[in-house]
A = this chain, B = another copy of it.
Amino acid sequence: MKPKIGFIGLGLMGQPMAANLLRAGYPLVVWNRTREKMQKLIAKGANGAVAGSSPRNVAEQCDVLITIVSDPPALEEVLWGTQGAMAGLRAGSTLVDSSTVSPDLAERISAGCRERGVDFLDAPITGGTWGAEKGELVFMVGGEPGVLKKLRPVLSVMGKHIFSLGPNGAGQTVKLAMNALLALEIQAFAEAMAIVTSSGIAAEKLVEVMQSSMARSGALDIKAPVMIEGKFAPSFPLRLMHKDLGLALELARRRGIELPATSAAYSTYSAVKAATTEDVDYAAVARFWKK
């Protein structure tokens, strides 16, 4: 019999992930701070999700609880706030957190779970809304290999690559490293684009040259057209990339290492974030050079 899954956080990523679990036949109990976001999943009727009344209520009902919320404060609230999930988790159940938070917070969650006889995986993801919809996410997992083995069928419904990276916190560490790199790749392209366009050369030409050389990249494939067009519908919102850059820098401080380029990128993303009112993709960092 399929384990009963609790799913907390039905944002840009969580919504399609939960839908894929439903489609695969997992019984699903859901919760979201904005309750309307639960409607689409509940509306499927007998094959639909059930709404929990609180994070704690969801946790009490399920074998596996998946959380994916936007930042560390939101996760702390969901786990340890009033009617938080942590108090409801049953011994023998498993918590999987796919939010992007600090490795330090993952370790604190791990300790909390251990006290209650609950298994824990930090399992942040990459792949964007597109990957979430197709069930082709990449999971970066920290935690016991035995726990991951047990959870693999569930994660496989949502992702195509599942990496076991070390003890709890390791998933978050790799995720923050990955996002620092992506943020920098996009900024690197934005700076290169600023060099050529300020010289009267079309950005398309730069892309054409880069794609035929070692400068080719997945980030360029996906984001260069968006950046040239200047249309920034959020796939991964700039405000979240900005948050992740902050978390990467905080981690670096704890480890006693300098990250000069990531620090510079953080300042640039901060400037664009401060100047932007609507919700935009992180590729909108290119606006820094827009006069």
Contact = CB atoms under 8 A, between A and B. Distances in A.
B199 A170 contact: yes
A223 to B, nearest CB: 9
A189 B181 contact: yes
Chain A at the B interface: mostly helix, strand, loop or mixed? helix
Contacts of A267: 260
A88 B180 CA distance: 52
Contact of A194 (B126, B220, B259): B259
Determine how many copies of this chain the complex contains.
Answer: 2
Nearest to A161: B212
A218 B219 contact: no
A242 to B, nearest CB: 14
Given A173-B196, A195-B257, A198-B255, A219 B209 contact: no
A44 B138 CA distance: 55
Interface in A191-246: 191-196, 198-201, 205-206, 208-210, 212-220, 222
A259 B174 CA distance: 27
A43 to B, nearest CB: 32
Contacts of A280: none
A219 to B, nearest CB: 6
Nearest to A210: B178
Contacts of A289: 257
How many A residues are at the interface, by size bracket?
Answer: 35 or more
A177 interface: yes
Contacts of A170: 199, 201
A127 B222 CA distance: 23
Given A140-B209, A177-B195, A195-B248, 20 more contacts: A127-B214, A161-B213, A165-B205, A169-B199, A170-B199, A170-B201, A174-B196, A177-B206, A180-B192, A181-B210, A185-B188, A187-B261, A191-B259, A214-B218, A214-B219, A215-B219, A217-B219, A217-B220, A258-B288, A264-B264
State the 5 A-B residue pairs at the shortest beta-carbon distance, nearest first.
A217-B217, A184-B188, A264-B264, A177-B192, A198-B255
18 contacts: A126-B213, A126-B215, A127-B214, A138-B209, A161-B212, A165-B201, A173-B195, A173-B196, A178-B206, A181-B191, A184-B185, A184-B188, A191-B262, A194-B252, A195-B257, A198-B252, A198-B256, A217-B218
